[in-house]
Structure 1
């Protein structure tokens, strides 16, 4: 094996060659070097602000719901490695992919029946959009090629997903003159438990009716708008979208990449509204944070509409589509989640977040504190100083990644009560100093 590099050498080479997400090249901030991870803790290669281990309050961007180095997921990966790590999916199939697709159909809302596996959440949204566009072309209605969404959303960093992210003030505003032009409703009124606003309901219905002849689909994040602002909205608006889409012959896509697999207190956030989409995207927690994989599910109506069209195939096929290693771990992750009382664990974490974040309401500069499922958010009335906020959290022994005006946490479901309390102290410290 090659000789291990020192933390200083790693940082030097990292700065010279590695482009980190949402950052310049070379980077202006030195990342912490993680040596290993287990349970909910990240072990650093050297102490940072007096800490050698950090409780992960982010689930590695919301994916590591079972924590790290989990024996069940490790065994699933090792067992699959002994058989095959990859084989092309064109013209071939294998048990892990078949099992995963069948499992997803069994746990997602009816009547989702068909599963397209891909590499990442953003690509799953690309596939969802392509499905809807091709469905209408196959139906002889090629004019239906635009998408409708509401402001404040985020759906990924590839082309079509960027076009349905918030066009003003979001990270993709740079491309507003180049991206496909979509139709944007106002942000949904805030508040998961709030009574639906009649004027906003009318706004949604009228916008869909006005553009129905050109609309291929409506696409939204159900209940929680994630990286666009961590905003919660009433499930009633999802029912409005479902009814309006049915009335005006428009498809409905739900992006459950961040909300899926229990994060909001329901297995899928659509469950809060009791509706089913025509197309659903899942990812992030799908493999428990072990490997990159996502899926786009659709109804038989969509699949058969494409398959009976002039071009009877969905012309999309990632090289690593259906990767056996990722599929095997995903199956193990889903079974691990459903084999325990995950609802109680999410509820427990939510209770801890409510109690622990309550003091943040008294901090200067805090606009709002909100919790839903295993999501805790402190919103400031100004842009967070990410460097100062991160440093404050690390001093408390916690890893957080604030952004915009938000200090938030999405802990792994295995996070114990004491660690939830520690995360809350870190969020409050980060909000105070950030």
Structure 2
């Protein structure tokens, strides 16, 4: 199906056909297509400065966006790292977690736990987090790093199983990845806030980082700014150590993503020693458009 234009919630074909895009371009066009406010802002920035590298220099659009993200993200999730796609945001989170534990003399923590039916992206590291049997990447099983995958802890039995795996492999696991409330590409599978709290509690018991992949659920897709915000009224809200965002971040206009870290993770890289820095610099990170 060839598309020649977009408008509002519609895809427009070469003969004028109009289709409603219920998927919003894989959940990214959160305000519809060609929204005048978004279009005018992009046009104005294009005329001013379409791109400049984000290494050793900065610019107002990136600073404004980082500041606004820090304002709306839970608790002290206020250290923003820009990248150019959701998959890369996940890769950055993996590097953050591994680097964090190396800073704390736990160099063996290089692997991750994710959940059955998980989907976290299409680059090699992100692929390893996807369900190795049920995802679109199953054909690459054995060719990429083998991570740990267990059922979501929806009840006491599955929670016990999660605890067992974490206890057995806590010396090698750096963090736990979860798509809060909704596993999107894995089949639109839903779970409740109690499942999230069980995951968070397990991470606390085993001193592991909790990494929330909200690339699909972020920016009001579940009715709140972020899916983890549905736990805000609980006695102990779930606040991930690292938060990955993308898709609707740019209202579907272009590829951009962020990985946001809490202060204790950020502090693992904050040093006068250049070797302690998080070495990751995509060419188009923090694109001002």
TM category, shorter: over 0.9
- Three-state SS of the structure 2 residue aligned to 1:125 is helix
Q: 1:324: how far off?
A: 0.5
Bigger Rg, which one: 1
Q: 2: distance between equivalents of 1:68 and 1:245?
A: 40
* Structure 1: 4+ residue segments shifted above 4 A: none
1:236 aligns with 2:203: no
Q: Give, in whole Å, the separation in 1 of the partners of 2:134 and 2:217.
A: 23
Q: 3-state SS of the aligned residue for 2:276?
A: coil
Distance 1:169 1:244 in 2: 24
1:105-184 equivalence runs, <5 A: 105-184=70-149
Cα separation, 2, equivalents of 1:208 and 1:272: 25
* Residue-pair matches, total: 283
User: C-alpha displacement at 1:311, in angstroms?
Assistant: 2.5
1:234 & 1:38 partners in 2: Cα distance? 35
Is contact 2:167-2:206 (8 Å) kept? yes
1:9 corresponding residue in structure 2: none
Q: Show the 5 A alignment for 1:194-209.
A: 196-209=154-167
Moved more, 235-244 or 305-314: 305-314
Provide the secondary structure at the position in 1 that maps to 2:267.
Answer: helix
The higher-RCO structure (CA 8 Å, 6+ apart) is: 2
Asked if the contact 2:181/2:190 (under 8 Å) is kept, the reply is yes
**Which position in structure 1 is the counterpart of 2:234?**
none
Q: Would you say the 8 A contact 1:138–1:310 is kept in 2?
A: no
Question: Aligned partners of 2:275 and 2:164: how far apart in 1?
Answer: 33
Cα offsets for 1:254-313 (capped at 9, x unmatched): 000000011112211111233110000000001110111000000111111123488311
CA distance in 2, matches of 1:310, 1:316: 13
Matched residue, 1:312: 276
Per the TM alignment, residue 226 of structure 1 is displaced from its structure 2 partner at its CA by 0.8
Separation in 2, partners of 1:295, 1:85: 19
Determine the C-alpha separation between the residues in 2 that align with 1:128 and 1:322: 16
Q: Which runs of 5+ in 2 are unaligned?
A: 232-236
Paired residue secondary structure (1:307): coil
User: CA shift at 1:98, angstroms?
Assistant: 0.3
1:221 paired to 2:184:
no
Q: Which segment is superposed worse, 92-101 or 306-315?
A: 306-315
Does residue 86 in structure 1 map to residue 38 in structure 2? no
| Counterpart mapping for 1:349-368 below 5 A | none
Is the partner of 1:98 in helix, strand or coil?
helix
Q: Map of 1:20-419 to 2, 5 A cutoff? A: 32-46=1-15, 52-186=17-151, 188=152, 196-273=154-231, 274-308=237-271, 311-325=275-289
- Secondary structure of the structure 2 residue equivalent to 1:324: coil
TM-score (norm 2): 0.94
* Aligned partner of residue 320 in structure 1, secondary structure: coil
- Structure 1 gaps, min length 5: 1-31, 190-195, 326-434
